[in-house]
Structure 1
Amino acid sequence: MAIHERIVYEGQGIPQEVLDAVERASERPINFDDIPPMTEEELKMVAAMPRGHRATKPKNNLTMHIPQQTIDKAREMLGEGYTGVLRRLIVKAVDHPELLKDCL
């Protein structure tokens, strides 16, 4: 059995082929026979992972004044999760000097 991995970002639609594959997989039984039980120490390590990840990548809040029509258009085009898409756009734009130059 092959393992397939795909990253789906907030606000991005999930392709129908992926939904179909998940549906087919959900109909198959899960075999846990080859998975050893986790120790208490391992469980604590796994539980601490998200906290550690958040601590290494702190984010700050930023308040911006954006025209309402721009917000409405982004919400209409991108749907739920549009703010995450806008955040990623800003992050990418800051890394491209030619795009920044156009905006100055």
Structure 2
Amino acid sequence: MENEKIVRVTIHEGQLPTKEQIREIETASIRPIEPDEDSPVLTDEQYAQMAAIARARRAENNKPVVSLRISPETLRKAKATGKGYTGFLSRLLDNAIDDPAIVKRSL
């Protein structure tokens, strides 16, 4: 570690690494992982605790998967909102189903 240096590089979207950067990545990928105070080795108990937290979060957010037909125009508009459009549609339906005026107009 004594001969190592920190190098900061700004990478722009779509920019590919240089040949030198690829060599550095390949060299780094074969080096052993050395835990330190910032990234200690986790115990089996810590892994178990994290797994329990992850399971609980998944259970809280467990939404059934459904299939429904929507118009191509509606799908296009939803996709135009960007990544996560299915979550957007889910929230939109949650809000709409709680609004009696929207429900009445949609029946």
TM-score of Structure 1 vs Structure 2, range by shorter chain: 0.5 to 0.7
1:27-56 deviation line (CA, Å, top 9, x unaligned): xxxxx68xxx97643442122211122224
Q: Which amino acid aligns with 1:59?
A: K
Partner residue, 1:70 = 74
Partner residue, 2:86 = 83
Q: Residue 47 of structure 1 is aligned with which of 51, 61, 76?
A: 51
User: Equivalents in 1 of 2:102, 2:78: separation in Å?
Assistant: 19
Per the TM alignment, residue 73 of structure 1 is displaced from its structure 2 partner at its CA by: 2.0
Per the TM alignment, residue 86 of structure 1 is displaced from its structure 2 partner at its CA by: 0.7
Q: Which amino acid aligns with 1:46?
A: M
User: Equivalents in 2 of 1:43, 1:62: separation in Å?
Assistant: 33
Q: Relative contact order, CA 8 A, sep 6+: which one is greater?
A: 1
User: Equivalents in 2 of 1:53, 1:94: separation in Å?
Assistant: 25
Q: Mark the runs of 5 or more structure 2 residues left unpaired by the alignment.
A: 1-36
What secondary structure does 1:59 align onto?
A: coil
Is 1:98–2:104 an aligned residue pair?
no
What secondary structure does 1:100 align onto?
A: helix
**Deviant stretches of 4+, over 3 Å:** 37-40
Per the TM alignment, residue 84 of structure 1 is displaced from its structure 2 partner at its CA by: 1.2
Name the TM-score, length of structure 1 as normaliser: 0.53
Name the TM-score, length of structure 2 as normaliser: 0.52
* Number of equivalenced pairs: 70
Percent identical: 38
Q: Which amino acid aligns with 1:87?
A: S
